[in-house]
Amino acid sequence: MIQALSDAQRRDWLRLVRTENVGPVTFAQLIARFGEPSLALAALPDLARRGGRTASLKVPGVAEAERELAAGEALGARMLAACEPAFPLPLAALDPPPPLLWARGDTRILSRPAVAIVGARVASAAAQRFARGLAAELGRAGFVVVSGMARGIDAAAHEGAMATGTVAVLGGGVDDVYPPEHRTLYDRILEAGCVVSENEPGRIAVARDFPRRNRIIAGLSRAVVVVEAELRSGSLITARLAGEQGREVLAVPGSPLDPRARGTNDLLRQGAAICEGVDDVLRALEGLRGFEAPGATPYRDPTPEPDDGLRKRLADLLSPTPVSRDELVRATGAPAPMVFAALTELALAGRAELLPGGMVARI
């Protein structure tokens, strides 16, 4: 569904995004079911009650949404809804996409092909030099470089791409400069490209924000290059998400004596492409197809409403271990749209978590 939103629709879109227990998957299911955010907002209390919730669902009011919009406007930032033409196509092609992005800087850069470069925060000097040089070469080849503005490899990648364009994806709001010593780097990125976040302006990042941030880094990019990473590293999360999204994953080999190379060497063992320079990235991208715009969304799904029996069966089938929605459809024997509707109700009630990739877990 590609459309420009009116002011009222934009406000309702934002309210639905910020509603308690509404993540990207639940948001997508609600829009598919009701078509309009205003209709979904009106249905929320009843849906949550059906899912077993007794307390009131926390839904931002109109004034709260207007305050967030005003805060973004005061920063010179722009809210991009996933249904709008200006929303980055690679992100819109995700299943599901983040419902919105706040963008500060030159948003036109988001329409250009991009490659992400990520890696260790405490990176070796050699790895930082490689990341800086690779970013510069990718820029000369016509690519925007995406990273997370962290210390080490991220900062080096942004620096290398400063002359040709770079995008920083933040865990907090678009005005949350972290680490604080990157204020000058942040200001330069605003001049040379764009800073984006799915969180509201003014938000300070917490730990749970960074996996979502990493999903956006991968989603904006045609390929992700990991330069240095230990085995337990956020960069490996970005690489895994990129693989799940159908992006190319490349890794820079390193010395087995350096713990910072264990993650990248393990990626290579798992089948990631080797990256020793820009030619490897360009070769990996040769056969990559472009991204297609998402299809039209029905105004309202005519599927019959799920009943209490189906909700109970689904709740009993769920566990903390994620399971695919398709498996739940097979286990219940109910029509898939009805199962998805029931799972949305359980999610709104706080009894289930709908995860990207069609997975569901009990909370």
pLDDT of residue 296: 43
DSSP type of residue 96: S
Q: Yes or no: say if 97 and 14 are a contact pair by the CB < 8 Å rule.
A: no
∠ Cα 204 208 212 (to 5°): 95
Which residue matches tokens 């749970």? 208
Q: Which residue has the tokens 């904006």?
A: 220
pLDDT band per the 50, 70, 90 thresholds, residue 305: confident
Q: Is the pLDDT of residue 304 over 50?
A: yes
Which residues, 6+ apart, have CB-to-CB distance to 335 below 8 Å? 303, 329
Query: Which pLDDT band, with edges at 50, 70 and 90, does 70 fall under?
Result: very high
Q: Is the pLDDT of residue 297 over 50?
A: no
Q: What is the mean pLDDT of residues 130-154?
A: 98
pLDDT of residue 300 exceeding 60? no
Q: What is the structure's pLDDT at 3?
A: 75
Decide: 203 and 178 in contact? Cβ < 8 Å: no
pLDDT digits (tens, 9 = 90+) for 154-165: 999 999 999 999
Q: How far apart (Å, rounded) are the C-alpha atoms in residues 262 and 246?
A: 24
* pLDDT value of position 299: 38
Mean pLDDT computed over 111-125: 96
Do the beta carbons of residue 288 and residue 248 sit within 8 Å?
yes
